[in-house]
Structure 1
Amino acid sequence: MNRISVAQPTLNGNERKYVLDCIDSTWISSAGKYIGAFEEAFAQFCGVKHAIATNNGTTALHLALVALGLQSGDEVIIPTVTYIATANAVRYCGATPVLVDVQAETMNIDPAEIEGKITPRTKGIIPVHLYGHPAAMDAINAIARKHNLWVVEDAAEAHGAEVHGRKVGSLGTCATFSFFGNKIITTGEGGMVTTDDDELAERLRLFRGQGMDLKRRYWFPVVGYNYRMTNIEAALGLAQLENIEPALAFRRKLAGWYNEELTDLANDLVLPKQDPDTKHVYWMYTVLLKEGDAQRRDSVMKMMDEEGIETRPVFYPMHVLPPYLESTHYPVADTWSQRGINLPTHQGLSRSDVARIVSALRKALGK
């Protein structure tokens, strides 16, 4: 029986045409027409003035923090449930990531827990739109304004998600995206920073290109980084972006299939929720076992794997990982990390695939 992967890219548009154009023209490195075209199109998609392409999502985060002036001794508030890149980018600047528990229904940072973690050293907040559901940006931005903090949206997993009809990427001081191969759209590797702030955009471009003055070639007024995207990657990204609306529509349809197939397991699983006035894009359709521990969750995943179904566990929270280890208890985060499962979520799935996935899950649960 064919194996079902947890994620895979869909390359059914102009990807080959645009990449071959790069090769035929010999513009394959960090200059070429596709970089600017991809940046312009992505800025328009997010509803912002500027999009600055980078070579991956982690460097996008680091670049944003550098451009915002984050320094050693500063603090940044982040959710404890996230991919480790969120915390690492803060540490790259010599600053300290301050961890906050997450909301039970979305796994996003809990605004009610943020203010208690703010100190005189706090410079900003990084809400993560985890697994495709946007964070509670109204409440987060209100807290940031009250305490004069910047907000960097970590939108690595949430291309196209919305709050009150506005797309993520336009809801904070700036935002960062990832285009890794398992994301909603991909460049293979790659990232982007979006912002409406003209001065911030100029600093982002300065630091991205080794710190070379944007108007004076080979003059370097600052220590910068080589975080540039290649023309080939941007060509892939532009082709992917041309088909993002069908991709998003399919993921919402896929979530609907899962919801229907899992109806009879309501006593065993917590299914994904969508907050009012938001749009969930379901980068990963994620379920929570209502009972058990990590050992039971891992057993369920192992049994599904034996049935040819690849799954993923919810991220380990930062507070249990050696670089960021704390003795503090974060009850919601601990529950999700021990009992959460990402089910296969990509455009290559059919309705019959979903039925097979749920059948394997039902069997693993002993139903």
Structure 2
Amino acid sequence: MTVSPQNSSMPQLDMAASELDSSDRQAILDVLDSGRLALGPQVVAFEEAMAEYVGVKHAVAVNSGTAALHLIVRALGLAPGDEVLVPSFTFAASVNVLLYEGLKPVFIDITPDTYNLDPEELERRRTDRTKAVMVVDVFGHPAPWDELEAFADKYGLALIDDCCEALGSRYRGRVLGALGAAGAFAFYPNKQITTGEGGMIVTDRDDVAGLSRSMRNQGRGEMGAWLEHERLGYNYRLPELSAALGVSQLRRLDRFVAERQAVARRYDALIAGVPGVRPPVVRPEVDMSYFVYVVTLPQNLSRDQVIAALQERGVPSRGYFSPIHRQLYLKTYLDEVPTLPVTEEAAQRTLALPFHTKMDEAQQTYVCESLRNVLAEG
């Protein structure tokens, strides 16, 4: 989303923006010239490059992060009625893929600093029917993986890493995507790298990779005929054009991550001059690859009014997240509405500011001055 300036003194601000260059355009043109638009070498190259970057045996390209999560859930063999612990403070896909398979999402509250899963809440909400945890590395900040792995080992649970927002992040030096049974990345245009639409499963498990490759391709076997299908599957394939863009973008991922971190550091310094607003908390054991830059507003404010007032000043902003357990469609699936006080408060106070690698200091200064003025005016 782009907000146009209302007067010449306002900079034009985009909420998010992809970084595309001539190498990306050439990669796409090369595919067009080849005439091979599907099931070709670019998908294989993208998968190999992602597996090497993350440090896992397998990467399986699909057409969205949602598709990646869905195939992981199916490949793990979770059965209807099984419970999966999952945060409500997340994007809907983290929960929807469970509902697709008749699983029961059990919503878990979050910590008040990073807004990731609270390990103590996992213990409180686990039952004998719990089979897995959907871990979400919120905004690119790694979840508390030491505690999560200990919890999963204690009870024999599968850990699914929804790291769709966290490509390039590390937890105690370990690259996200290499933790848990499998991880899912997404490449929408506001992510660290983009393929337009696209996703990737990363895993060391041969069974998860093999089943995912089959299911993304209508359930075909690896060596089977085109019209022979071994299992129920989907058309979750990633096109060659998207894969070629992914290969080109992935070569520059480390630069993109560094640039996003630099933008975040400038914001941190500027937000320090806005009374009552808390910048993102980054724990010392993590290296954070920022997906978005989310601040926490003072209590007893209307975030919607702040968003509207910023919009009048030419500054786009968004509330992150609207809790999934409060979404209207979830009423059909919930026996009762859970009590999640930290989630509820975060949902009222968190605000995403414009954030991408192309932002300069003047734009960020204007954003923060606008926020300070809006809050001062009450």
TM-score, length-scaled by structure 2 = 0.94
1:80-104 deviations in Å (ceiling 9; x for gaps):
1000111000000111111000110
2:343 is matched with 333
- Could you list the runs of 4 or more consecutive aligned residues of structure 1 that deviate by over 4 angstroms after TM superposition? none
1:12 aligns with 21
Contact kept in structure 2, 1:212 and 1:221, CA below 8 Å: yes
C-alpha contact 1:153 1:176 (8 A) present in aligned 2: yes
Kept after mapping to 2: 8 A contact 1:77/1:114:
yes
Name the Cα RMSD after superposition. 1.2
Equivalent residue letter for 2:27: Y
- Aligned residue for 1:359, secondary structure, equals helix
Aligned equivalents of 2:343, 2:67: Cα separation in 1: 26
Other-structure match for 1:39: 47
Distance 1:7 1:153 in 2: 24
Equivalent position of 2:320 in the other structure = 314
Deviations 1:15-68 (A, max 9, x none): 101100111111122x11110111111111111111100001111110110111
Aligned residue pairs: how many? 363
Name the structure 1 match of 2:217: 209
Aligned pairs for 1:178-257 within 5 A: 178-218=186-226, 219-257=228-266
Looking at structure 2, the residues matched to 17 and 341 of structure 1 have their Cα atoms a distance apart, in angstroms, of 37
Of 21, 45, 50, the residue aligned with 2:58 is 50
Q: Distance in 1 between matches of 2:199 and 2:51?
A: 13
d(CA) in 2 for partners of 1:12 and 1:95? 43
- Alignment match of 2:363 (pick from 314, 338, 353): 353
Q: Distance in 1 between matches of 2:113 and 2:167?
A: 20
Deviations 1:266-294 (A, max 9, x none): x411211111211111211111112224x
How far residue 220 of structure 1 moved from its aligned partner, in angstroms, is: 1.5
Residue 115 of structure 1, CA deviation: 1.6
Query: How far apart, in 2, do the equivalents of 1:206 and 1:71 lie?
Result: 19
Equivalent position SS for 1:11:
coil
Letter of the aligned partner of 1:341 in structure 2?
L
Long gaps (5+) in structure 2: 6-10
In 2, Cα distance between equivalents of 1:212 and 1:305: 49
One of 292, 306, 310 as aligned partner of 2:300: 292
Paired position in structure 1 for 2:171: 163
TM-aligned CA deviation for residue 255 of structure 1:
1.0
2:31 aligned counterpart, secondary structure: helix
Indicate whether 1:342 and 2:352 are aligned: yes
Residue 106 of structure 1: SS of its match in structure 2? coil
Distance 2:342 2:305 in 1: 21
Match of 1:21 among 16, 27, 30: 30
Q: Report what 2:271 is aligned to.
A: 262
Question: C-alpha distance in 2, partners of 1:273/1:316?
Answer: 20
Letter in 2 for 1:312: R
Aligned to 1:305: 311
Distance 1:210 1:122 in 2: 29
Q: CA deviation at 1:327?
A: 3.0
Q: Is the 8 A contact 2:324 2:330 kept in 1?
A: yes
**Contact 1:5 1:311 survives alignment (8 Å):** no
- Secondary structure of 1:114's partner? helix
Query: Which of 141, 145, 150 does residue 158 from structure 2 map onto?
Result: 150
Aligned-partner SS, 1:269: coil
- Which of 12, 16, 32 is equivalent to 1:3? 12
Q: Which deviates more, 197-206 or 334-343?
A: 197-206
Separation in 2, partners of 1:49, 1:337: 37
- Tell me the percent identity: 37
